[in-house]
Structure 1
Amino acid sequence: MKKQIGYFLKEFEKLTTGKYQVYQDSIHQIDTSIFFICRDKDRKQLVIIGKKGICERFEANKIGEINDLDVVICQLSHKNCDTIKDLFSLNPKRCNKKTSFGFGDRLGIATPAHAQAAKDHDLFPIFAQQSVRELSRTQRTFKDALDSAVWGVFESGYHKDFGADADHVKQIDDLLNAAHEGYSMYTLDPSDHVRDIDKMSQKEIAEFYQSHPERRELESKYVGKTFNLSKQKLVMDEESFVKIFVTYIDVIKHVVRCYDALKSVKRDFDLEVSIDETSTPTTPLAHIFIAEELRRKGVDFQTLAPRFIGQWQKGIDYIGDLSILEKEMTIHGEIVKILSGYRLSLHSGSDKFSVYSIFAKCTEGNLHIKTAGTSYLEAIKVIAVKDAVLYRDIHRYALERFEIDRASYHVTTDLNKIPNVDKMSDTDLVKLFDIPDARQLIHITYGSILTAKESGHYLFKDRIFKVLFDNEKLHYEFVKNHMEKHLNLLKI
């Protein structure tokens, strides 16, 4: 078989006069038909050397024949992606491991590097993971995110199962859109339905609680109940229950609505419930109430993301007392073991290196972690290394946009701590990515950078992709090494 493939590749090189570089890991074979990704100086394409019947399934241009087999070149289009998924079983699957990891890819070109990082680890990778907010800010769609992940998987030769996560979804219409595209995981973000009791008077809390139709039934189920952990007992007293009920009862209703909507269109999927986008940490008793009520309402969820104590700022390590965090994570991990049937999830997992081993130990590796912007940072780091002029342009524009873009993030970034890029040498620019404030500047302004236009033309986007395409090996190396730094810390 190797000799046959080698022969066809040599003949393809002759036919195209050496115009294309072949991605060796992308070579796939069905009977006598060979498929692979190649690139010229401008773009990547799919090549098929095969029988007419196979080739006709694709939108393709025939460029010749080799031994009576057609040679066609295909764009990496949505239709061709659907055909590749069907031929090689590359549709996203449900998680089949105790450990799973989400690789966010804001640019849609990092999956081959993510696959290289994941291949030697015993975990289930989520290669397509995008939130509605990220899609909006990058002007992409769930379809774009999944297609780019599938093409990346194909290019890398990754042969294990992988997932696709429609992340931090708040609206049912967005859930149904992702379901239509074939996503295998859905992360519900019910934060708009979390009631902030710190902003309510005691009278308002009492009136809401006393008048709620579910109050009496749930009182009888929870008030006075004791939950025995290994080193302590958790008691749901009336005061705690009132606070939890008022804070989260509408969260339960919203999750049930979303789950029912998904079940009406999709039979099999993984569901995550995220309660991390709140101002206060999730107490152990609140964790129990949410998990138990969702089950009682018939919601089959696989992962739950609490809001842990401390600061989980974007693009930098955890800020807070690690010993206190470990105690809290241990309690949440024990609750999961007692209730069973789901895993703990950690959001804002990018670059939280001091936390990973703690989280892995407290959950016994029964966990899910999401990362997103850190791969984008590695891409812009390549820009800093290879195109100092472009990086300085990006950096200056990011400074202009930061105060607007930071509105939807909780960060303590101090722009005064970031060196003046116009006073730095080209070779020193890469050192900015070791400075937390500079990392957050670039991390948070990604949407503005990727969509900025002047006279109808992108200011940075096309230039960014060009530099990354021309320096793809370095880009993949940066991303792979950085993600492996994350994954290696999960070993227990």
Structure 2
Amino acid sequence: MKALGWTAPYFLDADHIGLKTVDRFVGVSDFFTIDVADFIAQPADPVAVQAFVDRHPELVGTLSLAGIDRPFTTTRADVERTAAKFLLAVQEAGKVYRHIVGVKGVGRFVPEISMDETDSPQTPPELLVILAAIADEGVPIQTIAPKFTGRFNKGVDYVGDLTQFEREFNDDLCVIAHAVKHYGLPANLKLSVHSGSDKFSIYPAIRRALAKHGAGVHVKTAGTTWLEEVIGLAEAGGAGLALAKEIYAEALSHMDELCQPYATVIDIDRAKLPPAAVVQTWTSEQFVGALRHDQKNPLYNAHIRQLIHVGFKVAAKMGPRYLEQLKACRESCARNVTGNLLERHIRPLFL
């Protein structure tokens, strides 16, 4: 970063960590995505639930939030159900946060809470309850990743109702603004869109919402960069193309174990994955066409793209051999990575 002349802030993310995994990263990272999705809907202490609802009578009844044209109407039973569903997850996030503070100190890292890798989306009223609980827990989150309506599959476009997504995203921004004002959460608190790379169809809605509310957003894009590296290898031809084909073959042969951790955010049809022997015969144009996210290209294969996306461990196991080939194909890899991030992500969202 310094060699390239970058002087603005940047962070190293410990992605989707919990108490069992955080110590591997706490010494080197300064951004922590605290993943508590596994604790959602786990039974919270009934006494703690009642105490939470007693502390927050403002959540019961009719609540009008600036920017939302229809008020929320909730009963005490509604708030109790929401608290029972999410309170244990928030408490777990608090444990992880305090563990990190014990090592790094207060204010020396960015905490994010992730609730996206679960089956059911959180509604805006639920998000308000969650944020109130996070404030009670004393976690100064700067980003929060809820699960939105629709499918956010890895490396491919959004699948769902665009109008509904835009309404929910706008409502969530209003909920965050309300929570910042009333619960003392950090003023720079942002929504985080996980598996947000390549969701080109929702970027216009996000851009409109950010401009309307004067808000920011955090978009996870790491996976799309890995895919562009593989595209760069294939585009270079020769040894680069051969390595890209090997990555596909290995990912295909280990599909179950690679896909299992991402079951809620992929949708791969095995019947639409060509045999490795067929891919071995492909030209550079065929491989790149299948993998590059261009839905107008008849060669594009969203199933291959998702499989390669979750197959990054294949490259990790290759170690220096993969890294050396990246260096050998630096021009094509850099061009694809830079063009994808700037032209297809940053520019549509922010510029």
Q: 2:158 aligns with which of 318, 326, 339?
A: 318
Which string of whole-angstrom CA distances, capped at 9 and with x for unpartnered residues, describes residues 202-259 of structure 1? xxxxxx67x7112332333246333213301112223422321221110121122122
User: Which residue of structure 1 lines up, in the alignment, with residue 130 of structure 2?
Assistant: 290
Q: 1:395 aligns with which of 231, 235, 248?
A: 248
Q: 1:162 aligns with which of 5, 10, 20?
A: 10
Q: Is the 8 A contact 1:224 1:236 kept in 2?
A: yes
Alpha-carbon spacing, 1:417–1:273, altered in 2? closer, same or farther (3 Å): same
Q: 2:313 aligns with which of 437, 447, 462?
A: 447
* Post-superposition offset of 1:177: 4.5
Letter in 2 for 1:168: H
Once residues 359 and 403 of structure 1 are traced to their aligned partners in structure 2, the CA distance between those partners, rounded to angstroms, is 34
Q: 1:195 aligns with which of 41, 54, 57?
A: 41
Q: 2:222 aligns with which of 359, 363, 372?
A: 372
User: Which residue of structure 1 lines up, in the alignment, with residue 328 of structure 2?
Assistant: 470
Say which SS state the counterpart of residue 155 (structure 1) adopts: coil
* Post-superposition offset of 1:176: 4.5
In angstroms, what is the RMSD of aligned CA positions?
2.1
User: Which residue of structure 2 lines up, in the alignment, with residue 216 of structure 1?
Assistant: 50
Once residues 50 and 242 of structure 2 are traced to their aligned partners in structure 1, the CA distance between those partners, rounded to angstroms, is 65
Q: Is the 8 A contact 2:290 2:304 kept in 1?
A: yes
Bigger CA radius of gyration: 1
Alpha-carbon spacing, 1:237–1:158, altered in 2? closer, same or farther (3 Å): same
User: Which residue of structure 2 lines up, in the alignment, with residue 120 of structure 1?
Assistant: none
Which string of whole-angstrom CA distances, capped at 9 and with x for unpartnered residues, describes residues 264-314 of structure 1? 231222211111121100111211111112212322111111110101110
Say if 2:348 is the partner of 1:489: yes
Q: 1:255 aligns with which of 81, 93, 100?
A: 93
Say which SS state the counterpart of residue 191 (structure 2) adopts: strand
Q: Give the TM-score of the pair, scaled to structure 1.
A: 0.61
Q: Is the 8 A contact 1:275 1:306 kept in 2?
A: yes
User: Which residue of structure 2 lines up, in the alignment, with residue 226 of structure 1?
Assistant: 62
Say which SS state the counterpart of residue 226 (structure 1) adopts: strand
Alpha-carbon spacing, 1:301–1:392, altered in 2? closer, same or farther (3 Å): closer
Once residues 102 and 280 of structure 2 are traced to their aligned partners in structure 1, the CA distance between those partners, rounded to angstroms, is 56
User: Which residue of structure 1 lines up, in the alignment, with residue 141 of structure 2?
Assistant: 301
Alpha-carbon spacing, 1:258–1:477, altered in 2? closer, same or farther (3 Å): same
Once residues 462 and 263 of structure 1 are traced to their aligned partners in structure 2, the CA distance between those partners, rounded to angstroms, is 35
Q: Is the 8 A contact 2:35 2:113 kept in 1?
A: yes
Say which SS state the counterpart of residue 473 (structure 1) adopts: helix
Once residues 175 and 446 of structure 1 are traced to their aligned partners in structure 2, the CA distance between those partners, rounded to angstroms, is 21
* Post-superposition offset of 1:320: 0.8
Letter in 2 for 1:192: D
User: Which residue of structure 2 lines up, in the alignment, with residue 383 of structure 1?
Assistant: 233
Alpha-carbon spacing, 1:219–1:365, altered in 2? closer, same or farther (3 Å): closer
Which string of whole-angstrom CA distances, capped at 9 and with x for unpartnered residues, describes residues 122-174 of structure 1? xxxxxxxxxxxxxxxxxxxxxxxxxxxxxxx0332222221222221111x64
Letter in 2 for 1:267: V
* Post-superposition offset of 1:355: 1.7
Say which SS state the counterpart of residue 233 (structure 2) adopts: helix
Matched-pair identity in %: 25
Q: Is the 8 A contact 1:414 1:437 kept in 2?
A: yes
* Post-superposition offset of 1:332: 0.5
Say if 2:279 is the partner of 1:421: yes
Alpha-carbon spacing, 1:435–1:365, altered in 2? closer, same or farther (3 Å): farther
Say which SS state the counterpart of residue 271 (structure 1) adopts: strand
Which string of whole-angstrom CA distances, capped at 9 and with x for unpartnered residues, describes residues 444-473 of structure 1? 12213432xxxxxxxx44433222111212
* Post-superposition offset of 1:476: 1.1
Which runs of 5 or more residues in structure 1 are unaligned?
1-152, 197-207, 452-459
Q: Is the 8 A contact 1:244 1:286 kept in 2?
A: yes
Structure 1 stretch displaced more, 424-433 or 244-253? 424-433
* Post-superposition offset of 1:416: 2.6
User: Which residue of structure 2 lines up, in the alignment, with residue 350 of structure 1?
Assistant: 197
Q: Give the TM-score of the pair, scaled to structure 2.
A: 0.84
Count how many residue pairs are aligned between Structure 1 and Structure 2. 318
